[in-house]
Structure 1
Amino acid sequence: MAGGNPVFDRIDKQLQQERYAGFGAPRREQGPMGGTQAATTGYAAQDAMTAEQLNDLYARQAAGPVDTGRVTLDDVIVKSLVLFAVTLASAGISWFMVDGDPGLISPLWLGGMFGTLILGFAMMFMKNIPTPLYFVYAVVQGLFLGAFSYFLDARYGGGLILTAVVATLSVFVAMYAGYATGLIKVTDKSRRMFVFMIAGYALFSIIQVVLLMTGVIDGWGFGGSGPLGIGLSLLGVGLASYSLAVDFDSIDNAVRVGAPQKYSWLLAHGLIVSVVWLYIEIARLLARLRDA
């Protein structure tokens, strides 16, 4: 299973359409999330005020992001951890269900895979996503992860799942460090290239799944465990890794421009989608290397 993360492109487009101050304007060199400085251009024009209104405004205590209902970094982090916990809990339940009845591997694997695909497309076209739907997605995603991980553990053992988990966390930390220090940059041009690349990779993955289900190809798909297959897995890991940098940048932008708080769940959801995608790609790569 592979895919991209359209969540943050949706946020960027909606913010531009709703014309939040400073969004899309030229930025100074960026630092960690929450540490960027707003550009001096691109602010919305303000209505004229009387002297009394200005005096009254300046006399008030400054309102923080929480008071004004804006996205904050802490809010996104907390909600990401909540969705991650739900995903892990669902994966644990799925693992024990399959352990008790191995015949559930296919239903949970395929059900979870197509369930997240359907939910993902539905959420892409929703103007306002109900909060419970993020939890439904996390549960369905967890059911797939549990069955997928159990299958790999039963077939390969030898700590493959633990290695995949550690590798995923390591890449996450490395990508954040690279983004925070400016070693990894996300620009408008790189975003456009990334969108085209994951669109192509997603289409390739869907075709591969169809061919696998119809028996045209078998194993891990095109290239199997040979050089081509390993190369494709490395491409998937690379795309999923850069997806994290795009996520960090989008969260940073949303906080910087004061995006509405309603986006915090969407930002958290998008980040978890990228983390899970990265884990799946790393696990598939390790499995292919074991078969090589």
Structure 2
Amino acid sequence: MAGGNPVFDRLNKQIEQERYAGFGSPQGSQSGPVQGTQAASAGYAAQDAMSTQQLNDLYAQQAAGPVDTGRVTLDDIIVKSLVLFGITLAVAAVSWFWTAANTDLTLPFWLGGMFGTLILGFVIAFSKKVSVPLLLVYAALQGAFLGAFSQYINAIPKYEGVVVTAVLATLCTFAAMYVGYATGFVKVNDRTRRMFFFALVGYGIFSLLQVVLLMTGVLDGWGFGGSGSFGILISLFGVGLAAYSLAVDFDSIDNAVRVGAPAKYSWLLAHGLVVTLVWLYVEFVRLFARLRD
């Protein structure tokens, strides 16, 4: 019922006011029965004519779409994803060439980008407002890390070709997961989302612990498991988790468009998709490098 909703109450009052606005005798009309009847008839005729014209105008107008109502659209998400991904790739290219010419910049770009995105990631996740500048800065820091990391791996002779292979594997996985989700082969529901969330939190804590141990010299190489069977299993788990994250992103985008979420959230949806792609690429690099060892 609309009676309990203040928005519908206000709308109903406006409708009632418009409905009765033309009722009664026009100002200056005489109170005689004939004149009053004629004036009332003229008033009703004018009201009917105005209503007909208004209806014709309404029918002639195009239906309001999601863009007109300020809602999320798939095209908007695609455009914003391309913007963020373009910034990431552009900065990654600069980082790649700068670190290739100046190896001393590799560590600052790598660590600066990694910890910068980590800090900004928490800020973005817990912020009550969608800050587009923060998302753009995140994309730039992500690119700085990506270029330095990729250049470092590519410069090691035994890992030659790993970067290109990882890029191709990332693109193929993206396409496969999209087809799987679109055809219903890959399912995303409340149960799988909960399982994915707990697995993601556990893997995130594990990865942070590994980074700390690598930086303090407790671990070396690729960290836990090294390049042995256990290390390869860890990388396979990371690839699988990142790949399923794509399906979760697709489902989130689908839900946002279906329920008509505010347009500002298109930036967050695009941000999540780009972050997942970069994560998947890094996991593929680790996996292929371990296999080379």
**TM band (smaller chain):** 0.7 to 0.9
Amino acid corresponding to residue 99 of structure 2 in structure 1? V
Give the CA deviation at 1:273: 0.4
Deviations 1:154-197 (A, max 9, x none): 11343211110000000000000000000001000100110000
Q: 1:78-227 counterparts in 2 under 5 A?
A: 78-155=79-156, 156-227=158-229
Q: Find the partner of 2:279 among 271, 277, 290.
A: 277
Unpaired segments ≥5 residues, structure 1: 1-43
SS at match of 1:47: helix
SS at match of 1:150: helix
Give the CA deviation at 1:47: 2.2
> Structure 2 length as normaliser, TM-score?
0.81
Higher helix share: 2
When structure 1 is superposed on structure 2, of 209-218 and 121-130 the one drifting more is: 121-130
Amino acid corresponding to residue 142 of structure 2 in structure 1? Q
SS at match of 2:64: coil
Residue 8 of structure 2 corresponds to 47
> Equivalents in 2 of 1:67, 1:267: separation in Å?
20
Amino acid corresponding to residue 192 of structure 1 in structure 2? R
> Structure 1 length as normaliser, TM-score?
0.81
How many positions carry a matched residue from both structures?
248
Residue 259 of structure 1 corresponds to 261
Give the CA deviation at 1:46: 7.5
The question of 1:232 aligning with 2:234 is answered yes
Residue 70 of structure 2 corresponds to 69
Residue 25 of structure 2 corresponds to none
SS at match of 1:182: coil
Cα 1:71–1:225 change in 2 (3 A) is: same
Percentage of pairs with the same residue: 65
Unpaired segments ≥5 residues, structure 2: 20-51
Amino acid corresponding to residue 84 of structure 1 in structure 2? F
Give the CA deviation at 1:61: 4.1
> Equivalents in 2 of 1:88, 1:158: separation in Å?
20
Amino acid corresponding to residue 268 of structure 1 in structure 2? A
> Equivalents in 1 of 2:166, 2:154: separation in Å?
11
User: CA RMSD for the aligned pairs?
Assistant: 2.0
Deviations 1:199-227 (A, max 9, x none): 00000001111111111111000000000
4+ runs of 1 displaced by more than 6 Å?
Answer: 55-58
> Equivalents in 1 of 2:82, 2:181: separation in Å?
20
By relative contact order (CA 8 Å, sep 6+), the higher-ranking structure is 1
> Equivalents in 2 of 1:171, 1:149: separation in Å?
19
Amino acid corresponding to residue 81 of structure 1 in structure 2? L
Amino acid corresponding to residue 201 of structure 2 in structure 1? A
> Equivalents in 1 of 2:155, 2:101: separation in Å?
13
Amino acid corresponding to residue 96 of structure 2 in structure 1? W
